[in-house]
Amino acid sequence: MSVSPTVIASSRRAGNGARLEPDAHIPHPARPSTRRNPRLIIAGVLLVCLGALGSAWLWTAGRDEVAIVVTARDIPAGQVIVREDLTTVKIAATVQVMRIPATDIGTLLGARAARDLPSGVIIDPSALTAQMVTPGRAHIGLALPDGRLPNRPLPSGARIRVIGVDAGANGEVTVDTPGMVVAPPTRSAQGSWLVDVEVDASQASKVAALAAADQVVLVWEGV
């Protein structure tokens, strides 16, 4: 008895017991697509470029800074500048402001403040003066007994009024002129207070005469 090939193929079984039909189609697992999304590629390139540009900007911005001189504390007008009065900070080089480079800080020592300089302000050439006495002003050294000046220490730059009192004319005020303390008071060996003041040059001779006659009082004014 002969058996056709078709019958033989129909009778074969798979290893798990399932009968295999001659015309049965066995599906194969789908392979993952290897095609890349162009949009994701472009977005990645843009992110890399932006990151590089940001790093370059930060690096450039850090290099475009300059160190300048600023005040480290309040400096009254007329005070001699010492190293402790000054410090340095960095600002962007593109800031348009009058300034003095930090490398020149040593050249400022010994100069005088041309005006009141609050702490933290930028020092520019107009803030300082090399002149010991401002034109139109005069410095006078006074020797005053206790009670002729405030008990609290007068700092350099303090705004005062120099008042002349004629004790022989019932305490008549003969001079009343604004001034400024140039050097704070110090006690002399004789017990008087020595203080240098600045007044208008037109009042200098009157103040000096009254000081010699022990008729001067200093009043500390608020500003």
Residue 27 falls within a domain, yes or no? Answer: no
Q: pTM score, two decimals?
A: 0.46
Assigned domain for 20 exists: no
What is the distance between the alpha carbons of residues 206 and 152, in angstroms, rounded to a whole number?
26
d(CA 206, CA 64): 56
Per-residue pLDDT of the chain (223 residues; tens, 9 = 90+): 554 554 444 444 445 555 555 555 555 555 655 566 677 777 777 777 777 777 666 665 556 888 999 999 998 877 888 899 999 999 888 888 888 999 999 888 888 887 888 999 999 888 887 766 777 889 899 999 999 999 888 887 788 999 998 766 566 788 899 998 887 888 998 899 999 899 999 999 999 999 888 899 999 987 5
- Any bridge partners for residue 89, and if so which? 68
Domain span at residue 203 reads 137-220
CA distance linking residue 11 with residue 2, whole number of Å: 15
In the sheet where 159-166 sits, what is the strand order?
Answer: 137-144, 193-200, 172-187, 159-166, 216-220
Q: How far apart are CA 122 and CA 119, in angstroms?
A: 9
Residues 120 and 151 in one domain: no
Q: How many domains does the chain have?
A: 2
Distance CA 203, CA 178 (A): 10
Which CATH number goes with the domain that contains 108? 3.90.1210.10
Instruction: For residue 184, tell me if it sits in a domain.
Output: yes
Q: What's the rounded Cα separation, in Å, for the pair 43 and 46? A: 5
Domain end (from 129, 150, 182): 129
